[in-house]
Amino acid sequence: MGGSRIGIVGTGSYLPERILTNFDLEKVLNTNNEWIYQRTGVRERRIADPGINTSDLAKEASLRAMEMAGISAKELDLIILATITPDTYCPSGANWLEAKLGAQRAVSFDVTAACCGFIFALSVAEQYLKTGVFKNALVAASEVMSRCQDWTDRENCILWGDGAGAVVLQAFDHSAKDPLPSGKKREVGEILSLHIHSDGANGENLLLPGGGSKTTPISYESVDKKLHTLKMIKANESVRVAVKRFAEAAEEAASSNGIKVSDAKWVIPHQANIRILQQMAKRLNIPLEKVYLTIEKYGNISSATIPIALDEAVRNGSIQKGDYVILTGFGGGLTWASSLIKW
């Protein structure tokens, strides 16, 4: 399998129907639409209804990716779910997803790398496919971020939303004229390289303190201290680091494959904050028009933002045959990652 390539043969995404606008937030927070939009680039975000969990969103996105790929759940060998908001920590979110898809033969597990989770999960899946252990892999990223927010914290809660994205991956021989084993004639996104990094020493800059062994069992005190909601520590410092790592990751993906960032049709970043993305584009010396943006309508959905944007770009024709696409992300951990894909 040394000559094998990894192809994205299907993409899918799913957003909950409920829309929470900035004008809705005006009614419950000391804020307004203009203040939120100028600082974040978000106008609205999707919110999952009560009883709808991370695996439910992932299921819908996965079904759409599988439909595009032309495979059934029974053909899946591997399911990896990137998430920081699983249904439960035991079983894993991926276990719930496997059951809901009816993918009995698949091995399933979660990857936790915050906003870079999707690219980290791609990297894990790539290893199994390149070695020939598995043939069909489903990589999903799904988050219900609305349930780990302090909805009185106007600096933070305004950023986040819920949703899921997914891709189906297959390996194919480097010399194959038709890369799809099924013989289907359509374009495949070939993953040319993946790059993942972490810096655990600065992980507390983006922190969800409660829920782990450090703060369990859950107590009245931990709830009163809002330890079970997401915290952004040293926000200004985090922005500077994020811009640097976003750009470095994108440049790494390009240079590792002998191209420039400007050669890519699109840079699809994690949709963190419009100010971060504007500064990233400036640092990369590319126009913001080359950065594929969804933050205005969906907000920050942590690990799910990149696959949601990728699926949208594929389905609306923004990505065409021969296009280079750079995925780049930065998130809690700290983590940063990138990938170059050629369609």
Lowest mean pLDDT, pick from 10-19, 39-48, 201-210, 278-287:
201-210
Question: Could you tell me the strand order of the sheet in which 136-144 lies?
Answer: 107-111, 78-82, 136-144, 162-173, 4-14, 189-198, 335-342, 324-331, 266-269
Q: Which residue has the tokens 């937030």?
A: 25
Q: Check whether 100 has a pLDDT greater than 90.
A: yes
Q: Is 4-188 a CATH 3.40.47.10 domain?
A: yes
Q: Which part of the chain has CATH 3.40.47.10?
A: 4-188, 193-342
Return the C-alpha torsion angle 310, 314, 316, 321, nearest 10.
140
C-alpha distances in angstroms, 140 versus 31, 57, 120, 307?
Answer: 34, 10, 11, 8
Predicted pLDDT of residue 200:
86
Q: Is 30 among the residues known to form the active site?
A: no
Place 65 in a pLDDT band, splitting at 50, 70 and 90.
very high
Q: Is 90 among the residues known to form the active site?
A: no
DSSP annotation of 96: H
Tell me the per-residue pLDDT of 216-256, one tens digit each, with 9 for 90 and over. Answer: 677 767 677 666 666 666 556 678 888 999 999 999 999 99
Mean pLDDT of the chain: 90
CA–chain centroid gap for 16, Å, is: 16
Query: Which residue in 53, 95, 115, 136 is the catalytic one?
Result: 115
Tell me the per-residue pLDDT of 13-33, one tens digit each, with 9 for 90 and over. Answer: 999 999 999 999 999 998 999
Topology of domain 193-342 in CATH is Peroxisomal Thiolase; Chain A, domain 1 (3.40.47)
DSSP conformation letters of 250-277 = HHHHHHTTT--GGGSSEEEE----HHHH
DSSP conformation letters of 148-214 = G--TT-TTTGGGB-EEEEEEEEEEEETT-SS--TT---S--EEEEEEEEEE-GGGGGGEE--SSSGG
Instruction: Give this prediction's pTM.
Output: 0.93
Q: Is 115 among the residues known to form the active site?
A: yes
Dihedral sign (CA 122, 148, 91, 70)? negative
- Parallel/antiparallel/unpaired status of strands 78-82 and 136-144: parallel
CB atoms within 10 A of CB 130: 16
Dihedral sign (CA 259, 275, 139, 227)? positive
- As separate numbers, helices (DSSP H) first and strands (DSSP E) second, the chain gives 10, 13
Tell me the per-residue pLDDT of 119-163, one tens digit each, with 9 for 90 and over. Answer: 999 999 999 999 999 999 999 999 999 998 888 888 888 999 999
Query: Which residue in 22, 53, 205, 300 is the catalytic one?
Result: 300
Query: Which residue in 22, 53, 116, 270 is the catalytic one?
Result: 270
